[in-house]
Every structure is written in structure tokens, then in C-alpha cells.
Amino acid sequence: MEDWKFYMPTKIRFGWGRFQEIRQVVDELKGKKIFLVTSKHFAKKYGILDKLSDFLKGLTLVVFAEVEENPTIETVDRGASQCKLNQCDLVIGLGGGSALDAGKAMAMLQRNPGSIREYLDQERTCQVKGLPYAAIPTTSGTGSEVTPFTVITHPTKKAKPAIAPPENFPDIALVDPELTLSMPFEVTASTGLDALCQAVEGFWSTQGNPLTRSLAFQGIKLAMENLESACVKKDRESVINMALASHLTGIEMSNIGNTSIHPLSYPITIDYGVAHGFACAIFLPAVVRFNARLIESQFRDLLRVLNLSNIEAFADKVDSFMEKLRAPRRLSKLGVKQEDIPGIAKRGVGRSTAWNPRPMTEEDIIQICKTIL
């Protein structure tokens, strides 16, 4: 593709120990009264919140530590009201994709009226940029710190819709891989597999361009070479490389979205309570095989770098990789029954399914699900 465009307004600071630059970030965004959005328990438990308070001494810090995994409309609206009530002038999201997305939505709602539900249901659209927003990831998976995507769970619809107005790109992404060290094995594995899925989807997407494909290529390579070590050894090099894999795929995805795998994950997360990355990855080997014929030549360089002979070997490698990471590989193990599959297929089709290299129908999804039941 020779004709393409790319947009990335987020300023990036990436590096081990850079969390201590938070005061500079706040000053750059002219924050005086800060609304901190983070996950339940974790920031307090690991002492990150204490460090943050220390770095921001002299400024007012209002803490909203109530974000659950896959944040809901109710949580976002509650946080947005508290931010307004406290008249904060800057929002910081600190945590995994759940906290970062919730923070994005809360910042947006400071200058756009109504509930986040109205935006998710397309009754309103974002008209103006929200409060300045700094995103600090503590997982290596979603890349949400560099995307406009704001994924919020809609309980009455049993869905995870997203909005992505360009105004929702964070102003600053502060990526300090050291913050991810406290992730337990399972969270490192699940979030890292999310990064791998994003990278693979970005690499084969029909929406791709030379820049997104370069980022996705690096993302796949980094994740395949470093995730196991980041889970088991937690050595500095692999931890940094996983933060980079997540970050690069976030930049790539910010412009072209995903393809067929991410929408399939949503019913699995909502109905069976499966972590986002695991819910994506369970489909990865089967969708690689489904796409095989159409991606073989595109994957040639990647296969060579990974020392693999063909696409089937890539799918096998991902499969054995998932086994080592103790990721679920059969839908039945999650509680999915044969009779649930048509419903999953119906709700697992999203806008981005159309960007899969091989057209994918509901019937195809049913067949894919049967192979991994």
C-alpha cells in the first residue's frame, strides 16, 4: 500500500524508572488538582500510590481506586462525577487497560455532557477534548496508553463496546516497565498474549500500511521471544521488551484497530469471566490456521526470523507457547458448551471482523469454535 496516513498525538516517555518523572509530566500538563484513576487494591498493595503521592507533594491528589477489570458504565460515570465534584484539572490513569480506559472516559466526560453509556450507544459523540490525560500502564498488553480506544463494559447489553474519538488519545504516555514487575504470572501471561494477538491482527489486517506492519512485526517478534521469560524469570531485558511489544502494538492498533480475534474475546470475557488476553489468545492458533492460505507470503520474513518453516508451524508454536504460559486452550475448560457456540459466534462479530484477511462469517466462527471446544 503506497498511499496511507498515520496519526499519533500522544507524547511518549519510555524507560525503566521513568515513573519518577511524573512530576514533570504533571507540570507539562499544568495540573494542580489531580484525579488519579486506578484499579481496586493493586496500587495501594504494591506501594505505587505512596510513591506517587511522594512525587506529587504539594499538589492536590484525589484518588479513585475503584476500577474493576473490564470497567463498567456505572464505574466510569461515578468516577466522572467525583472528578467534577472535586474540580480537578488533570486526570492520570495508572494501571492496566481497565484503569487506563476508565480514566480516558472520565477525562472526556469532564467537558462532554451526559453518561458514557450515551456515547457507547451512539446517542452522543465526543465534541471537545476532555481534561488533559496522562496514562501510566502497569501491565504489558493493551497499549491503551497510546490509543484513543475506550473499551467499557455495557452490562445490560452484555457487550464491550468501544469509542475512539481522536480527542481520547492520552496527552502523555509514561511507560516505566519497572511498574509491571509486580504482575503475578497469570496477569503477565494474559496481558502479554493480548499484545501478541494485537500484533498478529495488526500484521495481517487489510487496513494495514507499511508503518503499522513494521510495528506489528516487531510486536510479534518481541512477544514471541520475551513473554515466557517475562513470566518466569522477570529479568529486566524481557520485562522491558514486553512493555515495548505492548506499546508498539498499541501505536499500530491506534490507527487501524484489530481484526477478528478481539471481537470474539468479548463474549468469552463477559459470559465466562475470562481475563481479556486469555479470551483473545484462545482463538489465535485456530484463526491463524483459518487465514493460513492468505497470509503465507506476507508472513515469510517473520517466519524466517522466528525460525519457523510455515504458517502451520507458527500456529503450533503459538499453541505450545500458550501451554507453557498455562493459558486456557479449550473453550470447554472455560465452561463453554456446544449449544453456546452459535450465540458466541453471533456476538463475536464486530466491525473489525471485516478487516480479517480472509472473510469470516458466523458459520466460519462456529466451525472455528468447534475445533477448539
Stretch 38-57: interaction string toward ligand NAD, x if CB under 6 A: -x--x---x-----------
Q: Between residue 97 and residue 156, which ones bind ligand NAD under the rule CB under 6 A?
A: 97-99, 101, 138-139, 141-144, 147, 149, 151
Q: Between residue 231 and residue 270, which ones bind ligand NAD under the rule CB under 6 A?
A: none
Taking CB under 6 A as the binding criterion, the range among 180-188, 224-232, 292-300, 328-336 that sits at the site for ligand NAD is: 180-188
Cβ of residue 91: shortest distance to ligand NAD, in angstroms? 15
CB of 283 or CB of 311, closer to ligand NAD: 283
Q: Could you give the CA distance from residue 53 to residue 134 in angstroms, rounded to a whole number? A: 16
For the chain, give the longest Cα–Cα distance.
60
Under the criterion CB under 6 A, does residue 271 sit at the interface with ligand NAD? no
Helix/strand/coil (H/E/C) assignment for every residue in 83-126: HHHCCCCEEEEEECHHHHHHHHHHHHHCCCCCCHHHHHCCCCCC
Cα dihedral sign for 263, 293, 251, 3? negative
Cβ of residue 73: shortest distance to ligand NAD, in angstroms? 13
Output phi, psi for 37, to 5 deg.
Answer: -110, 120
Name residue, grid cell 498525538. 9
Under the criterion CB under 6 A, does residue 291 sit at the interface with ligand NAD? no
75, 112, 191, 353: residue in contact with ligand NAD (rule CB under 6 A): 191
Cell triple for residue 350?
464486530
Q: Could you give the CA distance from residue 231 to residue 327 in angstroms, rounded to a whole number? A: 12
CB-CB contact of 64 with 35 (8 Å): yes
Q: Could you give the CA distance from residue 117 to residue 75 in angstroms, rounded to a whole number? A: 11
CB of 311 or CB of 347, closer to ligand NAD: 347
63, 135, 175, 183: residue in contact with ligand NAD (rule CB under 6 A): 183
Give how far Cα 122 sits from Cα of 95, 116, 137, 164, Å.
Answer: 27, 10, 28, 12
CB of 14 or CB of 46, closer to ligand NAD: 46
Helices (H) and strands (E) in the chain, counts: 16, 8
Q: Could you give the CA distance from residue 314 to residue 70 in angstroms, rounded to a whole number? A: 30
> How many residues at the interface with ligand NAD, by CB under 6 A?
30
Cβ of residue 289: shortest distance to ligand NAD, in angstroms? 23
In total, the chain counts a number of residues equal to 373
Residues 6+ away with beta carbon under 8 Å from 5: none
Read out DSSP for 53-70? HHHTTTSEEEEEEEEPSS
Q: Between residue 308 and residue 347, which ones bind ligand NAD under the rule CB under 6 A?
A: none
CB of 219 or CB of 311, closer to ligand NAD: 219
Residue 15, classified by CB atoms within 10 Å of its CB into exposed (0-12), middle (13-18) or buried (19+), is middle
Under the criterion CB under 6 A, does residue 276 sit at the interface with ligand NAD? yes
Cβ of residue 70: shortest distance to ligand NAD, in angstroms? 4
CB of 46 or CB of 303, closer to ligand NAD: 46
**Which residue, 197, 317, 315, is CA-closest to 249?**
197
Taking CB under 6 A as the binding criterion, the range among 20-28, 179-187, 211-219, 313-321 that sits at the site for ligand NAD is: 179-187
Q: Between residue 58 and residue 97, which ones bind ligand NAD under the rule CB under 6 A?
A: 69-70, 95-97
Q: Could you give the CA distance from residue 200 to residue 311 in angstroms, rounded to a whole number? A: 12
Under the criterion CB under 6 A, does residue 348 sit at the interface with ligand NAD? no
Under the criterion CB under 6 A, does residue 201 sit at the interface with ligand NAD? no
Under the criterion CB under 6 A, does residue 192 sit at the interface with ligand NAD? no
Cβ of residue 2: shortest distance to ligand NAD, in angstroms? 28
CB of 274 or CB of 311, closer to ligand NAD: 274
Under the criterion CB under 6 A, does residue 188 sit at the interface with ligand NAD? no
- Give contact residues for ligand NAD (rule: CB under 6 A): 39, 42, 46, 69-70, 95-99, 101, 138-139, 141-144, 147, 149, 151, 160, 179-180, 182-183, 187, 191, 194, 276-277
